[in-house]
Amino acid sequence: MKSRIRTVMALGVAALALTVGGATAGLDAAAADGVIKACRHKSGILLVPSAGKACKRSEQALSWNVEGPAGPAGADGKDGAPGPAGPQGEAGARGETGPAGPTGPAGPAGPVGPAGPSGSIAAIEALDGIACTTSANTQGEVSVETEIDGAIVLTCEAENAPPPPPGGTLVLNEIDYDQVGADTGGFVEIHNTGESAADLSGVALVLVDGGTGTEYLRRTLTGTLAAGAYLAVEVDPQNGAPDGVALLGSGGALLDALSYEGAIEAATIGSATYDLVEGTLLPPATADSNTVDGSLSRIPNGADTNDAADDWTFTATVTRGAANMG
């Protein structure tokens, strides 16, 4: 009985210790699972039974939790302060060079240079043969020519170019090589289509035999032929088809040519060879006649496009020494 009283006393001490937040070994054991178990004596005293012991029948078993139920969740906390800045990154690779900028404006003109030494020429002909640049932007030489009226013509001629015509523009304009009845009165008409007189010195009219490809008659001309004038050279320009006529300038330049009643494309004249077919061959059927009067003529008069089929035709009106009609 004394021991039980001591236990009850001990519980009073333990309850007191629990009130102040402490813990004893007995309470620790009774609350090992978080639940305090006790026995209430009918006198009102609470007894904490030893481990494994149950309350008596006259006692009321009691139990309660050491801790209350969990409280409500707290309010959300505030956002924290931003963290510190990270370390500086490494510099990037250098970009490619950009395109060149636009051309700047032209600078101001420089000062005028000193005057050059004074020059002089004894005669205008001294310019003949000096270097020049042609309109085709090629190297050439200056040519000095004095016209009949005293005009001086300076031209820049490309190197290795054929010699120029002797002033004016000479063409073969009409050929009468066949006549009704006996062949008489044949001629080759030469026309100056240029705007200045033509120097005929060194100009030759050459007849070519198509059978052999060689010349068989030559007329060397002299004097001048005024602009727009005609010159009928009396010849019989027929030697068996095909036939050809060549007008050569000084130095052998081929000024004009016609191959008729067939093609003569390789005429040997002197040491040179000439093609007497200009452009399209004049059809062999386009020929002079021995049954009707007429001749081969440039139509329109004097027109020379260097295409025989276009430039020449047979006309029934012979115009010896005058403009062609047709």
Site residues, Ca ion (CB under 5 A): 174, 176, 178, 189, 256, 278, 288, 295, 304, 306, 319, 324
CB of 152 to Ca ion, least distance (A): 28
Nearer to Ca ion (CB atom), residue 210 or residue 294: 294
- DSSP E strands in 57-195: the ranges are 60-65, 131-133, 139-146, 152-158, 170-176, 187-192
User: How far is the C-alpha of 82 from the C-alpha of 86, rounded, in Å?
Assistant: 12
Nearer to Ca ion (CB atom), residue 179 or residue 224: 179
Nearer to Ca ion (CB atom), residue 97 or residue 291: 291
Q: Which residues of 136-151 are buried (b: 16+ CB within 10 A; e: fewer)?
A: eeeebbebbbeeeeee
Type of residue found at 288: D
Nearest to 295 by CA among 312, 277, 276: 312
Type of residue found at 74: G
The partner residues of 268 in beta bridges, in order of sequence, read 214, 273
CB of 215 to Ca ion, least distance (A): 18
Nearer to Ca ion (CB atom), residue 59 or residue 179: 179
User: How far is the C-alpha of 1 from the C-alpha of 7, rounded, in Å?
Assistant: 10
- DSSP E strands in the chain: the ranges are 35-40, 46-47, 60-65, 131-133, 139-146, 152-158, 170-176, 187-192, 198-199, 204-209, 214-220, 224-225, 230-234, 243-248, 254-260, 267-269, 272-274, 295-298, 312-315
CB of 294 to Ca ion, least distance (A): 5
Type of residue found at 170: L
Nearer to Ca ion (CB atom), residue 193 or residue 295: 295
User: How far is the C-alpha of 245 from the C-alpha of 215, rounded, in Å?
Assistant: 9
Nearer to Ca ion (CB atom), residue 139 or residue 290: 290
Nearer to Ca ion (CB atom), residue 199 or residue 278: 278
CB of 192 to Ca ion, least distance (A): 13
Phi-psi region of 26 (alpha: psi -120 to 50; beta: other; left: phi over 0): alpha
CB of 221 to Ca ion, least distance (A): 17
CB of 181 to Ca ion, least distance (A): 11
CB of 147 to Ca ion, least distance (A): 23
Nearer to Ca ion (CB atom), residue 129 or residue 162: 162
CB of 245 to Ca ion, least distance (A): 11
